[in-house]
Chain A
Amino acid sequence: EADIYQTPRYLVIGTGKKITLECSQTMGHDKMYWYQQDPGMELHLIHYSYGVNSTEKGDLSSESTVSRIRTEHFPLTLESARPSHTSQYLCASSELRESYNEQFFGPGTRLTVL
């Protein structure tokens, strides 16, 4: 069973607030990802990391930022939340190898910005 955790699970916050969504994994995976998913829709990659001190933007433009100071931790930050940021944010991780690099997903954070 995958050991990847996200907190908080649910967050309702006002416009303009700074928020950080936490993601941690205990599998020692080098690769980590952040996806944004609206209800009933597909997953959009917004950030990923190959390892410590490595971060890249994904296919979907996002106003969020990420950091990777430790292998197990990949937090996502929104400096100033807006209603358009309302969505579910899923964190995932995988091993750094060419084959069989299946991704393990955390339970997600459902964010509502009022």
Chain B
Amino acid sequence: DAGITQSPRYKITETGRQVTLMCHQTWSHSYMFWYRQDLGHGLRLIYYSAAADITDKGEVPDGYVVSRSKTENFPLTLESATRSQTSVYFCASRRGSNYEQYFGPGTRLTVT
């Protein structure tokens, strides 16, 4: 039972490059979320999805793009990476409304 996985786990990229972070869950949860975690800010929601083909912005969506063509996958793309996007990114999923979220292991992204 893999649960929720993220890849890559670590990534170093250069300013201006496009980067895609992958998230895959095996539970068939309808909801999926992307967060970034930075010192002093805690966890902040980037985007979320209530179902396939339904996505919505969170607190800090600028510079990011998401898609959800299949229930189990929720990739996050940084279209043109900036140093301010250096962070730890967590994907999470949830069965439905009013249930707890489960987090993936995280991706540590460094933009040089």
Tell me if chain B binds chain A. no
Residues of B bordering A, CB below 8 Å: none
Q: Which A residues form the contact surface with B (CB < 8 A)? A: none
